Structures are given as structure tokens and as C-alpha cells.
Amino acid sequence: MEDEQEPPLQPRTQIQGRVLFLTICAAGIGGTFQFGYNLSIINAPTLYIQEFTNETWWARTGWPLPDHLVLLVWSLIVSLYPLGGFFGALLAGPLAIMLGRKTSLLVNNIFVVAAAILFGFSRRAGSFEMIMLGRLLVGISAGVSMNIQPMYLGESAPKELRGAVAMTSAIFTALGIVMGQVVGLRELLGGPQAWPLLLASCLVPGVLQLASLPLLPESPRYLLIDRGDTATCLAALQRLRGTTEVMGELAELEEERTACQGRRARRPWELFQDGALRRQVTSLVVLGSAMELCGNDSIYAYASFVFREAGVPQEKVQYAIVGTGCCELLTAFVSCVVIERVGRRVLLVGGYCLMTCWGSVFTVALCLQTSFPWMPYLAMSCIFAFILSFGIGPAGVTGILATELFDQTSRPAAYMVCGALMWTMLFLVGLGFPFLMEGLSHFLYVPFIGVCVCAAIYTAFFLPETKGKTFLEIAEELHRLNFPRQSQGPTWRGPEVIRSTEL
């Protein structure tokens, strides 16, 4: 009998894998891939855009723009990206509630199309302001997608694959960074004539998402809990799982809907006022801040200097930097494979401990680089090791927290808080890192090491493990942690069906 029953199970597994894979790819290519891609492509045309800014000003006024004002314009072009991301993060919550997860990702491509048009015609129009506006728009797009994509995938995946599926957001971020570094090479679109096409190439992943995502199902949790549409939810579950035998999972969703009865969507500030969310909000703020303040983004900025000090020729530095992006992509794949085996806490604690170790060695290597001829090579090795350690845990696991720690009524607001926090920290680190380099010199990584130590300690002692648990089981455990003196679990509200996250 076992031999007769085994063949029918194989197509179901294949169908489930195919639909999930297509959903992940369609959401990721226009989601976190865009974030990483637009984050990295701006580095290659730095000098060309500065020259274009000066030439444009000269053509308008007959006078060249002073160097400090050229740098000011360039700083605005760079910093408008995280500013747009901040606004996009605030926009993501209402969009996810009103339009749904999938439709929000599709509508989000309006910003990408508008930005690509501005980038593509900026040089012909002689307007560096079009570049600034375009960077603001792609920032808004990245802020929306960075919040909604993991929410969409986390709600669509079965509980035994939820962590791995949500981790794909980190994979697409790393893939976007690598692709941006590759496309930005001088041999491709990183030359003096092709930079408008380089900036406008963000249109390609947007078009791919617009062509593929409409063919795939909406989040089953959104369909049932938010819209109260049982029939469409059942159809979405059957497509995602590749089988009609989904009644057990549908029953779990019904229990979750009952738990959310009569509760409207929470506002971001309400998360900080509710004692039942104390542990969740603290974890989100502490670990979300740690991910941006751990020094990974800054080590990319410092990489070029270290590579030159290690003897890498100036014209070859760009290829070494591509290698750093490949390191993060590799570890994102590894984490995606092992997260459901080892759990979230192990990856986070291990990642931050390794980053503490390599950051310390990196500091020693910088201090002694003139004393020993091999120290610059040690510093270069530490850069790769630090990025590998970041990719093991913090890069992907942090993005799962808002999905797993918050229920359906609080999840959009949690992503708004997490996204706004992330983009604010990204802006502050970019603004303050040059002053850290100047003020602390070779000890500039000491503050980042302190952040890694604090993050590892908090994760080890205060973050609950969520591996293999349903959202209801996670909610019950968090209720016990928030109210340790109460023996009973959370009290779920009445049986009446109400659209729980209506604005």
C-alpha cells in the first residue's frame, strides 16, 4: 500500500514547490531586489553625476558650481533614497490593509516607472533635479516593498517553511546588491555615457514583477482574516500547497481569525502603549536598530580604502567590492537552508558573536597595519568575514520578526515601525560615518562592536524561539512572557466574524 500511495505525493510536492517558488521570485524581484539594486548602482556613476551637475549649472548660469555645493547636491541625491524609504515605510501599512499584500506590491511599481523615466531623460533635459526626484521615488518604492514583501511571503508560507520563505527577502536584497555592482562595472553601464541607463535600469525588475505577480495568489491570511473571504482563501491555499487537503490549515486560520475578532488595525503608536506587546515591540526596536548600527553598511564604505592599502590596483578594486556582495548573497542562501533546522535565535546570536570577533580583529589590524606588512591582508580578510557573519543571521532573521511576533491586527503597524526605524538608522549612519572615521580613526569600529555585543546578549536572553510554531502558539508564548504572573493564555474574543484589520 505504501508503494501505491507514494507516487501521487510527488506531483503535489512539486506543485507546491513550483507555486511557492514563483510567488517568492515574483514578490522578490520587484521587492527587496530593488532595494539592494538601487542601493548599490549609485556608487558607480558618482564622478559622472557630479560632473553633470557642474556642467548643468554652468550651462544655466555661465558660472561653475563651487566644489562644496557639488558635494552638497551629491549628498542630497544619495540621502534622498533613505528619506524616500522612510516615507515608503509609513505608507506600507495603510496600503497593505486597504489594497492587500499582492496588490500593494503591484501598485508600488508606479514609483519605479516614474523614477526610471526621470533618470532616463535627466541628461537630455539638463536637470540634476530629475535625478534627485527619481532617487526619492525609488526610495519610496523600496520602503513599501521592504515591508510588504516579507509580510506577504510570511503569511503565504506553511509554518514549517515560514522562516525559510521569509529569509528569501534577504537573498533578494543581496542579489540586488551584487547585480547592481556587476551592472555598474565600467565595462557594462558604469561608463561616462551610460549612467542614465544604469539608473533607469530599475525599470526591468519592476516590469518583471508586473508581468508575473498578477498570476499568483494573494496572502490566504489577508483574504480570510482581513476580508472575511473564505472561498478565495481556500482557493489560494490550495494553489500554494498544491493539494485540496488544506482543511487543517484552514481551521488554524479560522482560530486565528477568532482570536482577532472585533479588533481594528492598530496604529503604530498604539503598539508602544499596549502592555501585551511589550516584549514584541522591544525586540523589534532593539534588533531592528542593531541590524543598521552593527557596521555592515559602513564596512562597504571602508572596503575600497582597505583594498587599496592591501595592494589591490585601483582599477581592480571594483571587482573586489563585487566579491563582498557575493559573500552576503552566499550566506543568505545558507541561512535560508538552515533556519528551519537551527532556529532564529541561534542564527542571530551566532551572527552577532562572529561579527564581534571579526570587528575586533579588524580594529587590531587597522592599528597595526604600518607595523607588519601582512596586516592589510588581514584587514581585507576581516571585511569578507564580517560580511559573511552578517549574512548568516542578522541580514535575514531580523526581517522575520515583525511577521512572527505580531498578530494580524498589529503586523502592518509593526512593519511601519520597523521600516521607519531602519531607514532612519540608515540615514544617520550614512551621515555620521565620515565623522566617526575622522574622530576615531583606527578605532572607528569600537561602537559597532558594542552594538553587536548588546544584540547578541538581548537575543540570547529575551527573544523567544518561533521555529515550527503557529502564529497562535507564538502569541500564547509571548502573552506568558509579557504577563508572567498569569497562568492562563491569552483570552480570545467572541465568535462573531468581523473584518479585523479594517482601518
- What pLDDT is stored for residue 207 in this prediction? 94
pLDDT at residue 310, rounded to an integer: 64
Residue 173's contacts (CB-CB under 8 Å, 6 or more residues apart) are 32, 33, 35, 36, 332, 395
User: Which pLDDT belongs to residue 495?
Assistant: 34
The number of CA neighbours under 13 Å toward the Cβ of 237 is: 23
pLDDT of residue 10: 43
Task: Please name the residue that has the C-alpha cell 507516487.
Answer: 7
Residue environment code for 429-457, b if the CB has 16+ CB neighbours within 10 A, otherwise e: bbeebeebeeeeebebbeebbebbbbbbe
Q: How far apart are CA 472 and CA 154, in angstroms?
A: 14
Q: How many CA atoms lie within 13 A of 266 on its CB side?
A: 22
Between CA 113 and CA 203 the distance in angstroms is 6
Phi-psi domain of 191 (left: phi exceeds 0; alpha: psi -120 through 50; beta: other): beta
3-state secondary structure 194-258: CHHHHHHCCHHHHHHHHHHHHHCCCCHHHHHHHCCCHHHHHHHHHHHHCCCCCHHHHHHHHHHHH
What does the block give as the cell for 270? Answer: 498604539
Asked whether 348 and 463 are in contact (CB, 8 A), the reply is yes
Length of the chain as a residue count: 503
pLDDT number for residue 503 = 39
- pLDDT per residue as tens digits for the range 179-191: 988 898 888 887 7
Q: Determine the longest span between alpha carbons in the chain, in angstroms.
A: 87
> Are 195 and 353 within 8 A, CB to CB?
no
Report the C-alpha gap between 1 and 12 in whole angstroms. 18
Distance CA 170, CA 190 (A): 25
For residues 379 and 377, what is the distance between their CA atoms, to the nearest angstrom?
5
First to last CA, the chain: 52
Q: Provide the CB-side half-sphere exposure for 494 (13 A, CA).
A: 5
Question: In which residue ranges of the chain is pLDDT below 50?
Answer: 1-15, 487-503
Task: Give the Cβ contact number of residue 98 at 10 Å.
Answer: 15
pLDDT at 434: 67
Main-chain phi, psi angles of 70, to 5 degrees: -60, -45
Give the tens place of pLDDT for each residue, 322-340. 888 888 888 888 888 888 8
